[in-house]
């Protein structure tokens, strides 16, 4: 009798353990493809933003300034914005996967303090082959790219040391982990990730968002 009771209790315990593990796996499962994600981790108050603040379509891009594909996608995103004036807003998040990229992010953040974020980003993209060597960002080679932009370079170098830039980078990396960002660029359109990576996929998602937002 005691043996049967022990076996029964053991079976109940095993069943409870299986149920607990199943529940945990469900909780940790990634969201289904195309499902909207938590908007609170998509864009923060510090995120550089381009376009009308009241635009109903919001593209959030996790990018690495040393990423060649990010450089290639940037004009494509701008073309979509220009084709839909006032309807699309772009926010930038950092995912500095390349070695040395954090230094370039600090440069961008310091340029933002002088109101020159977007000009600096585009100048860095244009000169990217000259300061990214063997997939490593070289800050000392990036300085010529930002000259002639109207930046106070002495102030820029000083502002790069500000501790808040480290907090921005850490927050963006943490949000990227939460959103399962493993490569750059990674796009979210009105909270929805790309089902597959590509120009056509991004354009389709933006077109669907525009149709839903501006019926």
pLDDT in tens for each of the 215 residues of the chain? 544 444 443 444 334 433 343 333 333 344 454 566 777 799 999 999 999 999 999 999 999 999 999 999 999 999 999 999 999 999 999 999 999 999 999 999 999 999 999 999 999 999 999 999 999 999 999 999 999 999 999 999 999 999 999 999 999 999 999 999 999 999 999 999 999 999 999 999 999 999 999 98
Backbone angles phi, psi at 88, to 5 degrees: -125, 135
Range of the structural domain that residue 5 is part of: 1-30
Whether residue 24 is found in the same domain as residue 109: no
Total domains present in the chain = 2
Whether residue 174 is found in the same domain as residue 134: yes
Q: Residue-wise over 56-85: b if at least 16 C-beta within 10 A, else e?
A: ebbbbbbbbbbbeebbebbeebbebbeebe
Whether residue 10 is found in the same domain as residue 72: no
Q: What is the CATH number of the domain that holds 199?
A: 3.40.30.10
Whether residue 19 is found in the same domain as residue 97: no
Whether residue 1 is found in the same domain as residue 95: no
Backbone angles phi, psi at 50, to 5 degrees: -125, 135
pLDDT at 6: 42
Whether residue 180 is found in the same domain as residue 201: yes
């Amino acid at each position: 009798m005691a043996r049967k009771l022990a076996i029964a209790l053991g079976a109940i315990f095993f069943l409870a353990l299986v149920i607990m593990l199943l529940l945990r796996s469900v909780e940790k499962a990634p969201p289904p493809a195309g499902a909207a994600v938590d908007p609170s981790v998509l864009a923060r108050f510090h995120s550089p933003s381009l376009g009308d603040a009241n635009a109903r379509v919001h593209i959030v891009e996790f990018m690495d300034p040393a990423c060649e594909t990010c450089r290639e996608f940037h004009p494509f995103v701008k073309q979509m914005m220009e084709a839909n004036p006032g309807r699309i807003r772009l926010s930038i998040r950092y995912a500095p996967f390349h070695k040395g990229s954090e230094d370039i992010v600090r440069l961008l953040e310091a340029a933002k303090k002088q109101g020159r974020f977007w000009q600096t980003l585009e100048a860095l993209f244009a000169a990217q082959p000259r300061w990214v060597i063997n997939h490593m960002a070289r800050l000392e080679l990036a300085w010529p790219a930002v000259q002639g932009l109207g930046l106070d370079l002495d102030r820029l170098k000083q502002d790069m040391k500000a501790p808040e830039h480290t907090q921005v980078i850490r927050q963006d990396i943490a949000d990227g982990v939460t959103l399962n960002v493993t490569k750059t660029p990674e796009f979210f359109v009105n909270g929805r990730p790309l089902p597959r990576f590509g120009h056509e996929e991004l354009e389709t998602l933006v077109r669907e968002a525009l149709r839903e937002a501006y019926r």
